[in-house]
Amino acid sequence: MNTTLSFEERVKDLIGHMTFDEKISQLFNISLEIKRLHVPRYDWRNECIHGVAFAGYATVFPQVIGMSASWNPELVYQVADAISTEARAKHHEAIKQNKRVRYHGLTFAAPNINIYRDPRWGRGQETFGEDPYLTSQMGIAFVKGLQGNHPKYLKTIAEPKHFAVHSGPENKRHEINIEVKEKDLWETYLPAFEACITIGKAKGIMGAYNRLNGEPCCSNSQLLKEILREQWKFDGYVIGDGGAVTDMYSGHEVVATFKEAAARALKGGCNVINPLNIMTTLKIKRYHVHVKKAVKEGLLNESTIDEALKFSFLARFRLGMFDPTDNVPYSNIPMDVVNCDEHRNLSLQMARESIVLLKNENRILPLSKNIKSIAIIGPNADHLEALLGDYNGTPKQYNTPLQGIKNMLSSTTKIFYSKGCEHFNRDEFLSQEALDMADKAEVIIMILGLTGQFEGEEGFVLGPLKGDRNTLDLPKVQEKLLKELASLKKPIILVLMNGGALSINFAKKNITAIIEAWYPGEQGGNAIADVIFGNYNPSGKLPITFYKSTSDLPDFENYDMENRTYRFFKGEPLFPFGFGLSYTTFKLDNLEIAPKKIKKGENIKVNVEISNTGNRLGQEVVSLYLSKIESSLNPPLRELKGFKKIQLKPGERKNISFLLTPREYSIINNEGKRVIEEGVFKISIGGFEPIPEYKNKILTGEFEVKA
């Protein structure tokens, strides 16, 4: 309890005072109270990927995939900072009430930085998308926002998850063995984790359920010791996902008993064991017995337990849990910050920036607020769940698209609303009322898509319909409704609310305008209305590829990256990664690459000018992609290496600079090593697909690397 000593000294002293039984009591996700040593009970599990979840009221921000579509790490940082502020307030309020239970702690299973390699994965909505670089930048921002910037104390602790190579199928996650080549491991699946640990300085990490090349991730010494501790110098704790250690015998069958699984996990580098998703003190004590047996039978030694406790207690000290509250700057945040006006406004801004305009035929958008009549139709128009996504909190206030649009329109506008159909209905029932209303309206706004009933996490708490999708299409009844209304030959604005890519082939060809709104959070209705009626000029860009069909995809269980994501996909996408339109126009010119020839190890400077050539204020993402012209190492076809989001007034012009270091133009070889090849590299600024919507937007140039 001596606050003049370092945290490391205090942890060593504390562990030295603990009995063997007391040590065992601290190894699990529910760490029990040790009164004589002033150690309070602590439950390690908490969730906050887009707001503090499962603990009552909290600001609900857009789902993570939507935040990524903002391409705005600075805004992501602000969101994470707001989340951690609410988390601290809720934690200390719970402590006052002696409520030391799940979902009230300060250690968070966030962010989810797994690569969204396949759009069928139900949990892809929780990620920052399919690209390692974009995921890295967003992940770093989120980690820093959660953990704060105090020189001594952490605000909360981030646990980037799921380490590693984890992205479905959901119904096999407790048993699947994922075989991954070293090249794919280091080129695609590990970069975001490395960035969050080495740059973001995350002090926690959550192990995945699956096996990686034969060994369960939560006992995988290559991951947890060689890579995490030795290469990346990680000094935080490793916690297993809920039930991951139990899976070692019940799913993977690499051991026969829990005592063997616990021993294997602790020796492999896991520090906090999480036996089951639902745990009580009584159940935890039953697991203590198995660990004692493991030690007694020589499967585990006490020094390994001490090593695990060193990292877990260091985390608790860093959070200020053993220090006077006056010493810890985050201890007195009041409860009135939870879902406050400032945070609601931040949620609104993030929702606005997350929206992607996919089509705007004849510039029908933005609509006039004085339109004579409008029909708002679709099962997501007035549906709370479509705002939230998974792992969500409970908003005090929220507005659906129907509410947002109604609030925006003139009092003279005739508004017709009908659900039109259910989200999913085997009988494909369509409302005649909806068809009649659409026939009366000047313009139709259709709000379709998915909810957590169609995509999400497989699990006992989540219901039978959750999990992965086997199709990328809209549910058939919604597609039928869309086609029926399209036959009226009236302007239709289609708003999609979903977490994963949709194969909207008919809509792209036949519908006037298309907006991708994701699961936009509690202020989603206002944000959608702001975009439709021009209060906000859309600036979002896709963080994933929209494919035409599942026939474009490799087998779901195959983790090879060949023909996956924009980096390796050789087909024609429905909408490409990085795509997104605006109500204004931008022009790139004066691309400068210097020097054009370099030696290995030298930097490249890239400058480009961008101007707003339209008549509206707008934000644009200037992105830089790199391709190796010829290589024997099969690098990505193209790869994002830098981006900047800027705002320009009409007629305004700005210079944008990028620096390409040797790391940026290095290539991962077949052994997973980063090397630099000689030869010519192509730089593309602004995009990479020669599609009509990007005409005159892409600039290209080259540089050469020599020995």
Reply yes or no on whether 241 is catalytic: yes
Cα(268)–Cα(662) distance, integer angstroms: 34
Nearest to 217 by CA among 191, 251, 186, 248: 248
Cα(602)–Cα(62) distance, integer angstroms: 40
Task: State the DSSP code for 555.
Answer: -
The catalytically annotated residue of 81, 118, 241, 552 is: 241
Residues in the chain, how many?
707
Exposed e or buried b per residue across 643-671, where buried means at least 16 C-beta atoms within 10 angstroms of its C-beta? bbbbebeeeeeeebebebeeebbbbbbee
From edge to edge, which strands make up the β-sheet containing 604-612?
586-594, 604-612, 653-660
- What residue type is assigned to position 164 of the chain? A
For 430, phi and psi rounded to 5 degrees?
Answer: -110, 145
Exposed e or buried b per residue across 187-222, where buried means at least 16 C-beta atoms within 10 angstroms of its C-beta? bbbbbbbbbbbeebbbbbbbbbbbbbeebbbbbbeb
- What residue type is assigned to position 317 of the chain? F
Cα(178)–Cα(609) distance, integer angstroms: 45
Kind and range of the H or E element at 82? helix 73-96
In whole angstroms, how far apart are CA 34 and each of 9, 15, 42, 103, 288? 19, 12, 11, 21, 15
Instruction: Classify 371 in phi/psi space as left (phi over 0), alpha (psi -120 to 50) or beta.
Output: beta
Cβ atoms of 217 and 166 within 8 Å: the answer is yes
Q: Dmax of the chain from CA atoms?
A: 80
Q: Which residues contact 642 (CB under 8 A, 6 or more apart)?
A: 133, 606, 623, 624, 658, 660, 664
Q: Which residues contact 286 (CB under 8 A, 6 or more apart)?
A: none
Give ∠ CA 375-454-484 in degrees, rounded to 5. 35
Nearest to 670 by CA among 165, 132, 181: 181
Structure tokens at 513: 């305008």
Q: Which residue carries 């995350």 as its tokens?
A: 202
For 667, phi and psi rounded to 5 degrees?
Answer: -130, 145
Kind and range of the H or E element at 357? strand 356-360
Task: Find the distance separating the first CA and the last CA of the chain, reported in whole Å.
Answer: 58
Structure tokens at 589: 């010119």
Give the Cβ contact number of residue 1 at 10 Å.
Answer: 11
- What residue type is assigned to position 453 of the chain? Q
Q: So which residues are the catalytic ones?
A: 241
